[in-house]
Amino acid sequence: MKRVVLILITLIASGAASAETLTFQQALERALQVNNSVERSRADIAVADANRRQLLSNVLPRITLSGAGQRNSENVSFGSGSDARTILPANDWNYRVVMSQPLYAGRREFRAYSQAKLGVEVARDSVAATEDAVLLRVAANYLQIVDSDARIEIERRNIELAEKRRTQAQAFYEAGESTKVDVLRAETSIKGAQRQLAVAQQARETAASQLRADLDLDGTLEVTRPVHPLPDIPTETSLIGTAEASRADVRLAAKNVEIAELEIKKQRGFWLPTLSFDGGFINQKTQFPAGRYSYGAIRFDVPLLQSGEVEARIAGAKARELQAKLDLDTAKTDAKEDVRRALVDLRAAETSLRLAQEQLSAAEAEYQQSFELYRAQEATSLDVSTSETSLADARRAVAEETLNRDVAELRVWYAAGAIKNAVGVSAANTTELVTK
């Protein structure tokens, strides 16, 4: 039995030694480096930039080489001497080099390329939105672990209070000065505090599991309580202005409006003629009309009747432009109201925290006096049990409202689109494609 206990102690000690201690800042910085959602969104930038480069290639010259070899059953020629011309050689071959360059197509390619450049910016805005959401989630889970650690310590102190009362009740019971009910009541309080301890431990493990998944970690996580990390909250007007200018969803909606406007212009370009240049060099065995020659050609197409196809496409593009503008208005309204709701939640959390702290001070004084009176047998066990419960609830309330206040502050900065600046992290060191 002793050997089993020693093995368990060794395993626990080794697990504690391998636990990784993570600060608040380290957790946030790691989230931007290794989180799968962030990395996946960054890959969309490469996809958008590849599409941009492909559309750029549509307006650049193209050179092709083609050729053929052929065996014919007949050899046909006409003329004689220096005037002889072979028009069907038995062994025929030819090759040509052709260069094609689009010159004008109603500026459709130019508009498509501009849309693709905006698509890269849209992908970057999507990355920023993903990063902000991941930062908020990681920060909330980190603070949840900190709160759970505090709750675990609180429940242990609550157990100590209940055990202290049980010891006193047992002494009174053995002296014949109280009934067994007082001891049983203390036992009930101990079990209740132990149940709350198990709930706090479960909450910690849940938050730690989510944090490990976001940070690509394994094993036990140890965290440190951060010094109040966020700057002072600006005024509501300032936050709303920041949200309308900085939030990723607002920027994305604005770029979608630009893309929709370009789409209308692009569709109108189908009414205009297209112009291109072709030039080539041909070398062939057949000497008619010539065995070797080059050429250059200007080619054009003029749309005369398209049976309403272009009009229909323009109408669809205008409808999408209207939708994009409505989405932009909605995004700005949502940003404004998100800031206001976040500020209301923060004020409520700060008020609740202040009241919880005052409640805790009163509960501590009440418990101290009640227990002294109980020890002097001037108060009943029910009185001290009630004050003990009030003290335990007040301790839990302070821990819970501290978490709510901290998360509410984070949500204010998140609603304003400035959570990175608030927590002091930046994605500037990540690899990004630069559009020129």
Is residue 432 a part of any domain in this protein? no
Is residue 6 a part of any domain in this protein? no
Is this structure's pTM higher than 0.85? no
Is residue 87 a part of any domain in this protein? no
Is residue 433 a part of any domain in this protein? no
Give the range of the structural domain holding residue 33, as residue numbers without chain letter: 19-72+93-421
What is the pLDDT at residue 144? 92
Is residue 271 a part of any domain in this protein? yes
Helix (H) or strand (E) holding 83: none
Helix (H) or strand (E) holding 270: none
CATH number, domain containing residue 52: 1.20.1600.10
The CA distance from 161 to 193, in Å, is 10
Is residue 13 a part of any domain in this protein? no
What is the pLDDT at residue 13? 43
What is the pLDDT at residue 4? 38
Q: 107 and 268 in contact (C-beta within 8 Å)? A: no
Residue 371 exposed, middle or buried by CB count within 10 Å (0-12, 13-18, 19+): buried
Percent composition of the chain: helix, strand, coil (DSSP 3-state, to 5): 70, 15, 20
Stretches in the chain below the pLDDT threshold 70: 1-20, 81-83, 228-229, 427-436
Number of domains present in the structure of the chain: 1
Is residue 10 a part of any domain in this protein? no
Is residue 218 a part of any domain in this protein? yes
- The residue type at 319: A
